């Protein structure tokens, strides 16, 4: 056995993935108008319920999805603003698109 693997107990369960966010503020000038916006990048953990003998056993992580969101600061009523979803790459991506 190599020395490289020592110091890491093998009987410990793997760490559960968790939601993570990184939020930054930016501005850009377009046609002499300064636009302020926020960029949020992170991961969202998708979970499934575990059932044991018809009783809820809590939630188990199923997948972790990475995302990036660009939002206009001081945009007013955000319920009236458009939203775009773009899916690209990775296993299962081809099933998103209808052939």
Cα–Cα distance measured from residue 14 to residue 73, given in angstroms and rounded to the nearest whole number: 39
**Is there a domain that residue 69 lies in?**
yes
Residue 3 domain-assigned? no
Total domains in the chain come to 1
Q: What is d(CA 33, CA 22) in angstroms, rounded to the nearest whole number?
A: 26
* Residue 39, domain member (yes or no): yes
Q: Among 2-6, 73-77, 89-93, whose mean pLDDT is lowest?
A: 2-6
Q: Domain for residue 6, yes or no?
A: no
* pLDDT for the residue numbered 38: 97
Residue 31: pLDDT over 60: yes
Asked whether residue 37 is domain-assigned, the answer is yes
Q: What is the pLDDT of residue 28?
A: 98
Q: How confident is the model at residue 78 (pLDDT cuts 50, 70, 90)?
A: confident
Higher per-residue confidence, 44 vs 2: 44
Cβ atoms of 42 and 22 within 8 Å: the answer is yes
Instruction: Look at residue 1 and tell me if it is in a domain.
Output: no
Domain span at residue 33? 16-73
3-state secondary structure of 67: strand
Q: In this structure, is residue 82 part of a structural domain? A: no
């Amino acid at each position: 056995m190599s020395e490289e693997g020592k110091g890491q107990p093998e009987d410990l369960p793997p760490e559960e993935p968790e939601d993570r966010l990184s939020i930054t503020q930016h501005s850009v000038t377009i046609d002499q108008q300064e636009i302020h916006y926020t960029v949020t990048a992170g991961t969202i953990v998708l979970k499934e319920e575990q059932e044991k003998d018809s009783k809820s056993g809590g939630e188990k992580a199923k997948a972790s999805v990475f995302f990036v969101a660009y939002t206009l600061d001081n945009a007013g009523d955000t319920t009236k603003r458009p939203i775009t979803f773009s899916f690209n790459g990775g296993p299962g991506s081809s099933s998103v698109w209808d052939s």
